[in-house]
Amino acid sequence: MSKSSWGIALFCLVFVVLVRLKMVGTGVVASWSWWWVTSPLWLPFSIIGAIAVIRFIVLMVRGIGVIVRLNNLEFQRRYENEK
């Protein structure tokens, strides 16, 4: 098995264990919400999505910074040519 297959298998195994504990009513898991019981399925995708959104925002801010710098340079050139 490749490393990514082991990661997927681990999340599935944790999910199955949590569902069984919730259904049987054993331990602390019995009082958990179903959102937390199913979290091994959706939490990795949520983390990846959050990282993607943060990266997108950072790239947008950098892009705006580049545009502002270029406009500033163009303004300086025009100002110097008018002198």
Residues of the chain with pLDDT under 50: none
Q: What is the pLDDT of residue 83?
A: 65
Question: 33: helix, coil or strand?
Answer: coil
Q: Is the pTM of this model over 0.75?
A: no
Sign, CA dihedral 53-58-59-63, equals: positive
CA-closest candidate to residue 67, choices 55, 79, 59, 78: 59
Q: What is the pLDDT of residue 3?
A: 60
